[in-house]
């Protein structure tokens, strides 16, 4: 009977130990999953920010080109001469954009 009680006590102790190990492993797995999820969220956020910035830069460039074209057309009408010459047109656009940047 004593031997049986000792075995039962040992089995209960072993079961308790296994439960504690399982809890610890579960907590470690949960923490690892949280860390991975946070890393993934950070990666997605960084990629989204980079994409937004690239699109913003593209929009700014496009708008600057459009403003340059409008300025060239307007200057052509005001001055009364055609600005077909690529070099002359580039100079007018560059000058206009420089003035635009300076007025900020």
DSSP secondary structure string, 5-51? HHHHHHHHHHHHHHHHHHHHHHHHHHHHHHHHHHHHHHHHHHHHHHH
Q: What is the per-residue pLDDT across 6-32, written as a single tens digit (0 to 9) for each?
A: 999 999 999 999 999 999 999 999 999
Contact 93, 72 (CB under 8 A): yes
pLDDT, tens digit, 9 for 90 and up, residues 22-71? 999 999 999 999 999 999 999 999 999 999 999 999 999 999 888 888 88
Interhelix angle 86-102/2-79, rounded to 10 degrees, is 120
Amino acid 8: pLDDT: 92
């Amino acid at each position: 009977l004593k031997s049986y009680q000792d075995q039962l006590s040992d089995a209960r102790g072993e079961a308790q130990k296994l439960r504690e190990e399982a809890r610890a492993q579960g907590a470690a797995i949960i923490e690892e999953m949280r860390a991975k999820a946070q890393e993934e969220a950070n990666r997605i956020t960084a990629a989204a920010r980079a994409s937004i910035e690239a699109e913003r830069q593209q929009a700014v460039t496009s708008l600057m080109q459009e403003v340059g074209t409008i300025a060239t057309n307007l200057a052509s009408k005001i001055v009364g001469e055609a600005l077909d010459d690529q070099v002359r047109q580039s100079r007018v656009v560059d000058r206009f954009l420089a003035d635009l940047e300076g007025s900020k």
